[in-house]
Amino acid sequence: MDSASDPAALKQKANELYASKKFDEALALYDGALLADPKDTAGLRCTILSNKIAVFIEKNHLPEALKLAIELTTSYPNFARGWQRLATIHERNDEFVKAVEAAERYVALQPSDETRQFLEALKSETQICVRVTPGCPLTEVRVACNYYSIEGSPVMQAIGIPIAVAREDRDLLYKERQAQYDNQPITFLMTSTEDGLASERWQSNIGTAIVCRGDGKDLHKEHVLCLFDFFDKLMDKWGNGPHCAQAEMNAEAFRAWLARYNKRKNTNVQFQP
């Protein structure tokens, strides 16, 4: 077979051009290889598509890369490298939940130290947080560490657990107050250790908020539901005087409360310090 119509030869030449960073020329030859074998008799289509995606990623043509990666993983769901490509694209697009999901498929299809390291590297750049929307169920989200501008909960800082909060829409700070944006659980989280009141910025117009750990560790819905319960009880303590509430704001008292909470709820929620 003439090398000009041999898909394997065209692919090899395209790989060499890719290695030399001659991306446009490499793309042309990858396309030529696909055209030379439209029925994929050589079984090279999945690897050629994967290599085309790599070129698009290098050129930062992410829409084209994403479209091709979806085609690849749909047509060849057991081709492990396709999921690695898809994970990389989602990471570049700051779509971290999708990136980790694709990387987990990659590891499942090709378990090795290398693939597991790829997954763990993705996870290390992100953290699981909880989105709290007024009147809506809590949802977990995975975001880049330090993606949001966060502010620590004064009470939880005193207890020794770095819980922090961020507004999703900071522009609400500068708008006229609207009751629909009140988010009382978040207001409670941001109360002062001195008087049980939140600063004015956390009194109203909060809207949807993100609750996370300031140290980059993961935080899940069960943790946030537990915290909401704790702060409900803490607000009652303020009614009996500051000393009653402040007595709960240390690590030992919180551990004791948490043990009672887990027994009452039949759960096993634990917080890393």
Asked if the structure places residue 1 within a domain, the reply is no
Is there a single domain that holds both residue 137 and residue 255? yes
Reported confidence tier of residue 267, pLDDT bands at 50, 70, 90 = very high
**Cα–Cα distance measured from residue 57 to residue 69, given in angstroms and rounded to the nearest whole number:** 11
**Cα–Cα distance measured from residue 253 to residue 160, given in angstroms and rounded to the nearest whole number:** 11
Number of domains making up the chain: 2
**Cα–Cα distance measured from residue 99 to residue 235, given in angstroms and rounded to the nearest whole number:** 40
Residue 13 is part of which domain span? 7-124
Is there a single domain that holds both residue 117 and residue 134? no
Asked if the structure places residue 2 within a domain, the reply is no
Long-range contacts of 253-260 (CB under 8 A, 24+ apart): 254/159, 254/161, 254/230, 257/230, 257/233, 258/226, 258/230
- pLDDT reported for residue 145: 73
**Would you say residue 242 has pLDDT above 80?**
yes
Write the pLDDT tens digit of every residue in 141-194: 888 777 678 899 999 999 999 999 999 998 998 899 999 999 999 999 999 999
Is there a single domain that holds both residue 134 and residue 253? yes
Percent of the chain past pLDDT 90, that is, above it, reads 84
Q: Which of 2-6, 21-25, 116-120 has the lowest mean pLDDT?
A: 2-6
The helix/strand/coil state of 183 is coil
Write the pLDDT tens digit of every residue in 128-141: 999 999 988 899 98
Is there a single domain that holds both residue 133 and residue 242? yes
**Cα–Cα distance measured from residue 83 to residue 144, given in angstroms and rounded to the nearest whole number:** 20
Asked if the structure places residue 270 within a domain, the reply is no
Is there a single domain that holds both residue 76 and residue 198? no
Q: From residue 88, give the alpha-carbon distance in Å to each of 64, 121, 202.
A: 13, 11, 37
- pLDDT reported for residue 3: 57
Give the tokens for residue 119.
């997954």
Q: Which of 27-31, 37-41, 57-61 has the lowest mean pLDDT?
A: 37-41
Give the helix/strand (H/E) hosting 67: helix 62-75
Give the tokens for residue 191.
């109360």
Asked if the structure places residue 188 within a domain, the reply is yes
Percent of the chain past pLDDT 70, that is, above it, reads 98
Asked if the structure places residue 92 within a domain, the reply is yes
